[in-house]
Structure 1
């Protein structure tokens, strides 16, 4: 059965078909629009450029917003083709997903610009959120967001420990430095600012303890911060590596099924390429896995048709029991 127009639209917008020039062109236009629009927002914040190239920036904004609006409309229209939104209100449920909300935010600034008196600086910041749309075209960013979602509980525990350390260190440095520097550590908020800067970095030098006990506390807090802040980074690196290994294993499983007893034909290559793109596997990794699987199959074939004692090729003869019956015992 030939796919419907809605099904083809959904497939076009939710994946890059490298065999189709039209699919590559569409995704290239969308990705380029994001980059060009964000670059224009950055240069538009410079007063000299904003006045000199006002028309250019306005045209870029209108054209890019039109592209994003068409993309958003097509995504909403084709949402029922996604199995995740089967049932009632598929389009509404799609519109409430995080990426759909980002797409909506991408087309709202132009209405704020023309229809309201909102501060243009706020509009610029909202327009910069369009960069989040780029996660659709970057496997690395998509993988990073997936890892964040998977490790949300562990990150929450590490963040809670970091928050406790910030509050305790702010209270301690406030008690140690308030009397000596009432202008620097006037309240706990000032102390908390110093605590954040000291735990996350080595401090900016704008607020420095002067009492002996304050200096001792600052040394302990700085050393502790190295370990506490490094924990989320280690968790992220470990989870990222585990997800990459899981994807490589999944690709190896798919490649083993495709290559089992088959030659590496164009049809098999196309299927493997599709699995590779879905899992975000690089060409080097995919080639290494395929070569490894083919070597294993080749070795298994050698073991089957080779004598385990003399390692000479076996000559198998298949006999038909009906045409060549075994001799009967008398």
Structure 2
């Protein structure tokens, strides 16, 4: 069945196809618009630049908003052809996804500024959220978001433990210091602020305990803060390592299917390169995995590629990496 125009638009916007010049051009324009617009917002916050280059900033904002509006409209229009949103209310279900909401929020500030009397400082800050759109074009950012989603439960448990620690610490330091320093520890909110700064190991030094019991509590809180900060960092590092291992194993599986008993033709190289880019595997990692596969299966491959009559090596020309070769010649 010939793909419709809507399905082609959906495929074009869904991800970068490195074999298509049109796909590369479209995503390069979108990524460039995001970067240019965010840089423009940052410089626009400087009054001297705003006074001299107001027209340029307005032009950049207008062009980028037009690009993002067209992109958002096409994504919503083509969403019924996305396998994840087939069925009734496909467009509405797509519009409620996190990235679709980011796309919508990225274009709203311009129309709010045009048709309402909203505070422009708020509009500038909201426009910076357009940087989140860049996660579509960065494998590293996509990997980070995936890791956070996978470890959401563990991070939730760690956050709950941190919240309990903050409340208990605030109560302890309040009891120890509120009489000696009523201006600095006069209520639990002030004590809670001090505990957050101390547990985060920042310690501005603007508020310090002066009673003996308060100093003991502060010492315990400071030492506990080192461990509290280390726990999420360790979880995150472990999760990143696990996800990278999973991607390497997936690439190894794909490479084994392509290479086992077959020559490394240009067609196979292209397929492996495509898998590598999809998984975010570096060239060094991919090369190491391919060499490892060829070393491990070299003896087995030699037996497969040896003529049983003359014992000379067989040369296989791969026509399709997914099918067996039709011809062999010795």
Is TM-score (shorter-chain normalized) higher than 0.5?
yes
**Superposition deviation, residue 52 in structure 1:** 1.4
Q: How does 1:1-80 map to 2 (within 5 A)?
A: 1-80=1-80
Q: How far apart, CA to CA, are the structure 1 residues paired with 2:115 and 2:75?
A: 26
Q: How far apart, CA to CA, are the structure 1 residues paired with 2:105 and 2:232?
A: 30
Find runs of 4+ consecutive structure 1 residues off by over 3 angstroms. Answer: 313-318
Q: How far apart, CA to CA, are the structure 2 residues paired with 1:96 and 1:23?
A: 25
Q: Quick check: 1:255 aligned with 2:255?
A: yes
Q: Is the 1:177–1:214 contact (alpha carbons within 8 Å) kept by the matching residues of 2?
A: yes
The match for 1:322 is none
Q: How far apart, CA to CA, are the structure 1 residues paired with 2:88 and 2:266?
A: 41
Paired residues in the alignment total: 311
Q: How far apart, CA to CA, are the structure 1 residues paired with 2:270 and 2:8?
A: 19
Q: How far apart, CA to CA, are the structure 2 residues paired with 1:33 and 1:185?
A: 49
Structure 1 residues 152-198: Cα deviation after superposition (integer angstroms, max 9, x where no partner): 11111100000000001011011111111111111100000000000
Q: How does 1:1-330 map to 2 (within 5 A)?
A: 1-302=1-302, 304=303
The match for 1:327 is none
- The root-mean-square deviation of aligned C-alpha atoms, in Å, is 1.9
Secondary structure class of the residue paired with 2:297? helix
Gaps of 5+ in 1: 306-312, 319-330
Q: How far apart, CA to CA, are the structure 1 residues paired with 2:271 and 2:11?
A: 16
Q: How far apart, CA to CA, are the structure 1 residues paired with 2:301 and 2:256?
A: 15
- Greater mean deviation of Cα atoms: 281-290 or 220-229: 281-290
Q: Is the 1:162–1:229 contact (alpha carbons within 8 Å) kept by the matching residues of 2?
A: no
Secondary structure class of the residue paired with 1:78? helix
- Greater mean deviation of Cα atoms: 74-83 or 100-109: 74-83
Q: Is the 1:202–1:222 contact (alpha carbons within 8 Å) kept by the matching residues of 2?
A: no
**Superposition deviation, residue 19 in structure 1:** 2.3
Secondary structure class of the residue paired with 1:118? coil
Normalised TM-score (structure 2): 0.90
Q: How far apart, CA to CA, are the structure 1 residues paired with 2:143 and 2:216?
A: 42
